[in-house]
Amino acid sequence: MIESQQFEAFMKAYQNMVFSTAVRLLGNPAEAEDVSQEVFLKAYERYEELKDSQTVGGWLKTVTRNLCLNHLSRYRARWRFFSEMFSERDDDESTPEWAAPDTHEQTVAAGDHRQLLETALNKLPETQRVPLVLYHFEEMSYEEIAAKLRVSLSKVKTDIHRGREALRRKLKLKLAGEEEWGGLQGAENPCAT
Amino acid sequence: MDNDKEKQLEELIHRELRNLPEVAAPPTLLHRVMLAVHENARRPWWVRSWVNWPLGMQMISLAVLLASAGLVSYFLGAAWDGFNVTSMSSRVVESFAWLKPIWEIVSALVGAAAVMLRVTGQQFLLIGAAIVVLAYVTCVALGTVCVRMAFYRPERFK
C-alpha cells in the first residue's frame, strides 16, 4: 500500500511542472487542472515503479502532453465539421485579444512581464499555441509536431510563425536591425502606450 | 520574412518562453487528487480495472475465462455437427409464411408505380429526386445552424 504522505510529497514536487505543461497546451486552467488530476491518478497506479525512477519527470511530461493532445483532439473532432472555417478565418485575420486596459495596466504596474507573456501565450488561438508550446517547451521538431497533430508540415511552420509574430507584436519585442528596441529585455514598461 | 529574421524571431521567442517560470498549480489540485486516490482505495476490488485486482483473483478469473471459452467452443462444435442445413432452411421459410400476403401487396404496388412512371415519363422521378435532395440539404443546414448556436464557445477562438 502506498503511503499517502509519500505520494503527497511526490505530487508537491511535480505538480507545478505538470500543471504548467497542461495549462500552456490547453490554455484553460480548469481543463488543465482536470488533466493534471488524471496524470497524477495514473502516476499513483504506477507509483511503485515511478518513485525510484530517474525518468519520472519525463514520464509525467509525456503523459501530460498526450492527455492534453487527446483532450484537444476530442474537442477538435467535435468542432471540426461546424467550426473549422470559422476558426481558420480567425487565425488569419485576428490576433489574440489583450485584456481590458485596466487589467493590462495593473499587470504592467506589478512589473510582471512574464505574466504578460504567459497571458499572451494563453490567448493565442489553439492552432498556434499548441504547436508553439510543443516546439519551444516540449522541444519537438516540426516534423514530430506535424505527425502528432496530424497536420501538414507547412501548416505547422505557418502556425508557429504566426504565433511567434503575435507574441512579438503584443509584447513589442524588436528584432535586431529594427528601428527601436522594446520588449522584455529592452524596456521598463514594454506594453505601455 | 527572410530566413535570418525568421531565425532571430525563433531565438527571441524561444528565449522569452524558456525564461518563463513554471505556473503554480492551484492549491485544490493536491486535495482533489488525494481525495480521488482515497475514493479509489475504498472501492472494492471487483469494481476496479482488472489489472488492479488482487493476483489470486486475476488467476482465478483467467482460469474461469479460459474454461468458459473452452466450453463455448465445445458446445458450438457439437451444435455445428448436428446442424442440418436443408431442414433448417425449410423451417425458416415456414416460419415466415405469414409474410406472403404482404409481399404480394408490395409487389403489386411497385409494379403499379413502375407502370405509372413509364406512362408519365421521367419528369416526376426527377422532380421527386430534386425534392428529396432539397429536403436533405435543408436538414443539414438547419442542423448546422442549431449545433453552432447551441455549442458555440467564443473564448476558444479569440
Contacts of A40 in chain B (CB under 8 A): 29, 33
* Separation CA A42–CA A60 (nearest Å): 9
pLDDT over threshold 80, residue B149: no
pLDDT over threshold 90, residue B99: no
Least confident of A24-33, A108-117, A169-178, B72-81: A108-117
Please give the share of chain B, as a percent, with pLDDT higher than 90: 30
pLDDT for A179 equals 55
pLDDT for B97 equals 80
Considering only residues A135 and B124, tell me which one the structure prediction assigns the higher pLDDT: A135
Confidence of residue A94 (pLDDT cuts 50, 70, 90): very low
Helices A153-171 and A142-149 cross at an angle (nearest 10°) of: 110
Q: Which of A20, A47, A112 to mutate to test the interface with B (most CBs of B within 10 A)?
A: A20
Chain mean position to CA B30: 35
Identify which of B13, B18, B144 has the shortest CB distance to residue A168: B13
* Separation CA B71–CA B81 (nearest Å): 15
Contact B9 A114 (CB under 8 A): no
How big is the A-B interface in CB pairs under 8 Å?
A: 117
What global pTM score does this model have? 0.60
Distances (CA, A) of B57 to A47, B43, B54: 22, 16, 5
The mean pLDDT value for A159-179 works out to 81
Considering only residues B87 and A47, tell me which one the structure prediction assigns the higher pLDDT: A47
Identify which of B20, B32, B52 has the shortest CB distance to residue A37: B32
| pLDDT, tens only, A115-127 | 888 889 988 999 9
Query: Any idea how long chain A is?
Result: 193
The mean pLDDT value for B57-79 works out to 88
In the block, residue with C-alpha cell 508537491: A12
Q: DSSP letters of A60-108?
A: HHHHHHHHHHHHHHHHHHHHHHHHHHHHHHHHHH--PPPPPHHHHHHHH
What residues have CB less than 8 Å from B25, skipping those under 6 apart?
A15, A16, A18, A19, A33, A36
Q: Say yes or no: A42 contacts chain B, CB-CB below 8 A.
A: no
pLDDT over threshold 80, residue B86: no
pLDDT over threshold 80, residue B92: no
Considering only residues A1 and A91, tell me which one the structure prediction assigns the higher pLDDT: A1
The mean pLDDT value for B45-60 works out to 85
Question: Is there a contact between B24 and A20 (Cβ–Cβ < 8 Å)?
Answer: no
Helices A153-171 and B3-18 cross at an angle (nearest 10°) of: 70
